[in-house]
Chain A
Amino acid sequence: MGVVHGEEMVLNIGPQHPSTHGVLRLRVKTDGEIISEITPVIGYLHRCFEKHCENVTYDQVIPYTDRCDYLAAMANNFGYVVAVEELMELKIPEKVEYIRVIMAELQRIASHLLALGVYGLDIGAFTPFLFMLRDRERILDMFELTCGARLLYNYMWVGGVSHDLPKGFVETAFQFLDYFEPQIDEYNKLLTHNKIFVERTADIGVLPADVAISYGVSGPNLRASGVKWDLRRNAPYSIYDKFEFDVPVGDGAKGTLGDCWDRYYVRMLEVKESVKILRQALAQIPKDGDVHQALPKKIRPPKGSIYSRTETPRGDLGFYIESDGSPIPSRVKMRSPAFTALSVLGEIAEGWMMSDVISILGSLDIVLGEIDR
């Protein structure tokens, strides 16, 4: 079959663009409509997080971690706090652990809802975006009930949490879960099995498993390529080993294993698993206990370093903390999952057309705040 070769053109997508999930710039070399090379240029949101960490105390770092991955702020707090507590070898009361898991799973649902809604918006479907944001607002209401903030909470502190669950939180949460579970079927009817959506996402941007591991991809992106790796199951932290849940893995139902549709569907299935974990946690949470009893008077970890990982909605978030015995950290490095997910774009987007690039970028679910820190 004859192939038409056009002239090579260098295009620029971004940094201001409605579908680039933040300030990302893509330098694209195209041959007609087909991409021959794509280079992401980042750094437009570099807010010097690591320099700030070297100048403030350990608990003052927590609001800065919120603002890195602003769509899943609880998960960032969780990752940092788990790392510092491991360095200090603190023992956390059980009620605090349950509260943390409940908040982390609610945040996982909220983050996935936003990611899937915005993905639909990129493809062109406006209604799922409005529906998913409406349900996300109910979760944000619950967060606001507890700690007063909608998006950036500063909730998890080293040794505890900032506010106890208010009266009536458990009932509100159960009401929300009963309302929300049938909604997942509605989303599947609206978007997941929609013929246009499937045609735009299946078989596109296939990420093989070995390439994914070499690029350090983790989280739903890795699970969609068939690798069953979830930090909550394989390297449990906090009290995740007490709960029963499955780890959804992509299976190439609509096309090839590891395509965009798999990445989308794995996130949808993870929302269901989070609902399962939430039901168990809300039923088992101890009724009384003081959430501030284990807060250390002075956060002064012993000299040493630690690298610890937790599972956020985007993948595994790693914190490398080095302490020299003073109340101010010597170095905090945040290894973000979206950084590795974006690095793989240059490899999997070549050979596809321009509109497929937007589809692939949306399926990777990146947040520029986390990439640039």
Chain B
Amino acid sequence: MSADQEKLIAELVEKGLAGDMDPINAIEDRVLRSKAKAALAKAKRAAKVAAASAPADEKLAEEPPADTTPSDNPNQKFGKMIEDKFPGSLGADLNDTHIQLKPDNWFDIATWLKSEPSLHFDSLQCQTGMDLGDNILEARYNFHSMTHDHKIEIRIAVTRDKPNIPSIEQIWRIGDWFERETYDMFGFHFDGHRDHRRMLLPEDWEGYPLRKDYEVQETYHGIVVPKVKEGWE
């Protein structure tokens, strides 16, 4: 890579970090554009690591005293009920969009979510994973109740070194396939799952594709995997 190109990419990365993606998207040359985007992604990751290590207690000191009036939002309401019944299980403060839980007694909480008559979340709508960068993987569950017609979202964050979450496939039977797929794509490990193997990719595939730093393998059983064929680009 020539010196001018490096300087240009550094400028574009500066602009991209400030939130302006137009200069990068306007580049005609495909190779240069992809190099710029890769450099931007790397810079963003580095910036996030630096920000996470900044002290978090500053934020806490600024927060106003907690609002004790009950809110109508299901995530807030049920998050409070979960905290009352299973103290210490919330991983973050209550908010309107989701309930953050710790993975420790997730199985008991899940059983209670389904069996408690006023909640009765009998349908696990969607279960997915997210790679948040910073060595953190998060599993997200969307629940819905057919009887009461309310829904919540639950998120459980784990680290890459120990991605263990209790499995809930015995409570909602669709959890069986959803969890196998999340394991296949992200590399979580669902403790207690009776049939823990890959779902979509072949059994001998290496790596977990939906992680942000996934590098595709070179060959699979002798067949070349990546996109380069002779005469392309």
Contact = CB atoms under 8 A, between A and B. Distances in A.
Tell me if chains A and B make direct contact, with any CB pair below 8 A.
Answer: yes
B19 A216 contact: no
B200 interface: yes
A216 B185 contact: no
Interface string B201-215: 110000001100000
A335 B126 contact: yes
B35 interface: no
Contacts of A307: 125-126, 142, 153
Contacts of A227: 146
B10 interface: no
A43 B201 contact: yes
Contacts of B5: none
Interface in B156-191: 172-174, 176-177, 185
Contact of A305 (B97, B125, B173): B97
A213 interface: yes
A216 B128 contact: no
B177 A214 contact: no
Interface stretch (A165-173, A262-270, A321-329): A321-329
Nearest to A346: B176
A293 interface: no
B140 interface: yes
Given A213-B122, A215-B174, A340-B177, 12 more contacts: A46-B201, A51-B209, A51-B210, A214-B173, A227-B146, A307-B126, A307-B153, A318-B142, A325-B19, A327-B21, A333-B128, A339-B177
B187 to A, nearest CB: 15
On chain B, which size bracket covers the interface? 20 to 34
B199 interface: yes
Contacts of A54: 210
A43 B181 CA distance: 10
Interface string B82-126: 000000000000000110000000000000000000000011111
B24 to A, nearest CB: 10
Q: Is the interface of B mostly helix, strand, loop or mixed?
A: loop
B121 to A, nearest CB: 11
A327 B142 CA distance: 25
Interface of B: 19, 21, 25, 97-98, 122-126, 128, 130, 140, 142, 146, 149, 153, 172-174, 176-177, 185, 198-202, 209-210
B210 to A, nearest CB: 6
A295 interface: no
A206 to B, nearest CB: 16
A42 interface: yes
Interface of A: 42-43, 46, 48, 50-51, 54, 211, 213-216, 227, 229, 234-235, 304-305, 307, 309, 318, 320, 322, 325-327, 331, 333, 335, 339-340, 343, 347, 372-373
Given A43-B201, A50-B210, A320-B140, A331 B130 contact: yes
Question: Would you list the 7 A-B pairs with minimal beta carbon distance, nearest first?
Answer: A216-B174, A43-B200, A335-B126, A333-B128, A46-B200, A214-B173, A343-B177
A325 B21 CA distance: 11
Contact of B173 (A46, A335, A339, A343): A343
Contacts of A42: 199-200
22 contacts: A43-B198, A46-B201, A50-B185, A54-B210, A213-B146, A214-B123, A214-B172, A216-B124, A227-B146, A229-B146, A304-B97, A305-B98, A307-B126, A307-B153, A320-B140, A325-B19, A327-B21, A331-B128, A331-B130, A335-B128, A339-B177, A373-B200
Contacts of B185: 50
Nearest to A50: B210
Nearest to A216: B174
